[in-house]
Amino acid sequence: DADVTQTPRNRITKTGKRIMLECSQTKGHDRMYWYRQDPGLGLRLIYYSFDVKDINKGEISDGYSVSRQAQAKFSLSLESAIPNQTALYFCATSDFGGQANTGELFFGEGSRLTVL
Amino acid sequence: QKEVEQNSGPLSVPEGAIASLNCTYSDRGSQSFFWYRQYSGKSPELIMFIYSNGDKEDGRFTAQLNKASQYVSLLIRDSQPSDSATYLCAPNSGGSNYKLTFGKGTLLTVNP
């Protein structure tokens, strides 16, 4: 089983609908992230969380919200989906990145969202 | 706005050649640097991590870092068709509040 699991993997929805993308991890990491990827634009950070009580906006948080239900779970919501939110969404986790580790990101397999 | 610039692709090299991927960054506080490889439709995977100036080699991959010039590169020797992918550069801003900022990526195609 994957260490970082995203559901759903694919979703097609209509404008105005509420959508939730879920992420769970078994790596025991405190830090979790949501990125979106659009062709030619790389990965852009939406929200990140360094522990259950810590939520931070990334560079493109407008139109999104998140919930950190537990250390292992981090959900991304689109309250009212619009077509320009059509993208590939990645959840990622990391450890702190001190001397004992690199702080690299471990990614889920991605959730492809299409908003019609 | 912290920026990460990568050489625009796509980059095409013949099998067996050296592929050179470049990245510049604007945040002088960046302490460490990651290179991720991403196959089409797949999630990124880490291939190199470097934090000291100079070269770091891992098999066919060599990362080169020059913090004074705010430049990091990735060389792939003896390129193989299986190296065909998008390569993402990601500086780490450092400190306890660090997060990775990704470049837009460079698409590499290795032709048999």
For A9-37, write each residue's pLDDT tens digit: 999 999 999 999 999 999 999 999 999 99
Query: Which residues, in sequence order, are bridge partners of residue B33?
Result: B50, B91
Mean pLDDT of B74-93: 94
Distance separating alpha carbons of residues A24 and B23, to the nearest angstrom: 32
- Token digits of residue B72: 């990091």
User: What does the alpha-carbon distance between residue B38 and residue B99 come to, in Å, rounded to a whole number?
Assistant: 19
Residue in chain B lying closest to A4 (CA)? B43
A105 CB neighbours in chain B (<8 A) are 34, 44, 46, 90, 100
| pLDDT over 60 (residue B73) | yes
Position B96 pLDDT exceeds 80: no
B110 falls in which pLDDT band (50, 70, 90)?
very high
Cα distance from B51 to chain A (closest Cα, Å)? 9
Average pLDDT of the segment spanning B47-62: 94
Q: What angle do CA A91, A96, A99 make, to 5 degrees?
A: 140
- What phi and psi, each to the nearest 5 degrees, are found at residue B105? 95, 155
Distance from CA of B14 to the nearest CA of A (A): 23
pLDDT at B1: 59
Q: Which residues pair with B101 in a beta bridge?
A: none
pLDDT at residue B99, rounded to an integer: 75
The residues that bridge with A45 in the sheet, in sequence order, are: A35
Which member of B42, B98, B101 has the closest CB to residue A103?
B98
Tell me what the mean pLDDT of segment B21-45 comes to.
92
A38-80 residue pLDDT tens: 988 889 999 999 999 999 999 899 999 999 999 999 999 999 9
Which residue is it, tokens 């407008």? Answer: A62
Query: Does residue A7 carry a pLDDT above 90?
Result: yes
Distance CA A55, CA B56 (A): 35
